[in-house]
Amino acid sequence: MRLPRRLRRARLASRVLKRLRRAGLADARYDGRAFQVRFTAPGDDVPTIIELGPLLATQGRRRVDDYVAGLLLNPELPHSWSEVKPLLRPVLRGATPGSPLRRPVLPFLSEFVVVDHPDTMTYVSAAQLAAWNVTADQVFTAGRANLTGAVLQGRAIEPTIVQFVDDGDAYWTSHLLLPHWLECLADQVGGVPVAFTPERGTLLVTADNSAHLPGLFAQAEQIFTTSSRPITPMAYVSDDNGCPQPYAAPPGHPLHQTVGRAERLLALHEYARQAAHTRNAAALRLTGDASSGWRTQALWPQNEPTLLPRADEILAGSAVHPWQSLAPHLTQAPDLDPPRWQATHWPT
């Protein structure tokens, strides 16, 4: 049954007040007659007034948090679009805490935008778009435009490896997001470029026909699994539009199993990060070997309702079921990325 309007108004005001006070604004006050919340931000001489009426119809927790966050821009962030625009940079990442602005670009990976400071970077949130009076497309476009788009000189006599090590300012791994940038390295690596971004400070590129390619898969996996700032162990090439896409190695390709292992290691990593803050999230593990093939296996525990990650197979008790055989009986859970599926009864 729908709550009385007076109670809904009081709950909304309480939620906004709690969010403001958690941000350190102890003077935040609710005016019930005007249906407003007032607070004075640090450095301001006059109070800020939040009109609560527009929020009443959509007072979900995330909506309220995003709205208030837009009023509480990080004090280190410029408050005007003209000031912040030249500081924006795109970054390629997996799951990121909070609700930063993002758009999916690759399996398990998204493009985010950060504000580049001399010593730190701050993720741009969706709520900040209103404060700057810009669209998400404008923010993403500005971030990419601010990359150097550096072009290397010279020509490789034979397939070789080019390694980019980021000093904190170059954003080399982000260059993969620039259309056609990877293709421009063909002369430097001696063939069609294949790129690895195992962690935030490392970009490795070699040629598709290079004898170095199998070794780079192993090197990327080692960096990915030991780094405190991993991105992906997978390899990427340019598609027909110059955008990154996963390196393809279909059955029969000498790197088929190697590519399959890298794909599954990334899935394990991202699902594990998600499971750390998601209730009833089933675990995912890697099984198989290079000869029989690598597979991901979702572990459905003790015949209990659970949220299953997308996997090659599902282990329910001692029985292993191919994902395809159980998929028709599963329902995708809302608002989860990477996606999970609700499972309630063990298969018989």
Residue 61 is predicted with a pLDDT of 59
Q: Is it the case that residue 310 has pLDDT exceeding 90?
A: yes
Query: Mean pLDDT throughout 124-135?
Result: 85
Residue 302 is predicted with a pLDDT of 75
CA angle 13, 19, 21 (to 5 degrees): 100
Residue 32 is predicted with a pLDDT of 80
Query: Mean pLDDT throughout 76-92?
Result: 88
Return the minimum-mean-pLDDT range out of 30-39, 55-64, 164-173, 309-318: 55-64
Residue 38 is predicted with a pLDDT of 79
Residue 182 is predicted with a pLDDT of 95
For the chain, give the secondary structure using H, E and C.
CCCCHHHHHHHHHHHHHHHHHHCCCCCCEEECCCCEEEECCCCCCCCEEEECHHHHCCCCHHHHHHHHHHHCCCCCCCCCHHHHHHHEEEEEECCCCCCECEEEEECCEEEEEEEECCCCEEECECCHHHHHCCCHHHHHHHHHHCCCCCCCCCCCCCCCCEEEECCCCCCCHHHHHCCCCHHHHHHHHCCCEEEEEEECCEEEEEECCCCCHHHHHHHHHHHHHHCCCECCCCEEEECCCCCEEECCCCCCCCCHHHHHHHHHHHHHHHHHHHHCCCCCECEEEEEEECCCEEEEEEEECCCCCEEEECCCEEEECCEEEEHHHHHHHCEECCCCCCCEEEECCCCC
Residue 120 is predicted with a pLDDT of 64
Residue 168 is predicted with a pLDDT of 65
Region of residue 323 (phi > 0: left; psi between -120 and 50: alpha; otherwise: beta): alpha
pLDDT tens digits along 245-286: 999 999 999 999 999 999 999 999 999 989 988 899 999 999
Amino acid occupying residue 172:
W
Residue 162 is predicted with a pLDDT of 87
% of the chain with per-residue pLDDT over 70: 86
Residue 144 is predicted with a pLDDT of 96
Under a CB-based contact definition with an 8 Å cutoff, are residues 296 and 312 in contact? yes
The residue among 33 and 89 whose pLDDT is bigger is 89
41-to-24, 45, 48, 83, 91 alpha-carbon distances in Å: 9, 8, 7, 20, 30
Give the separation between CA 58 and CA 230, rounded to whole angstroms.
37
Q: Is it the case that residue 45 has pLDDT exceeding 50?
A: no
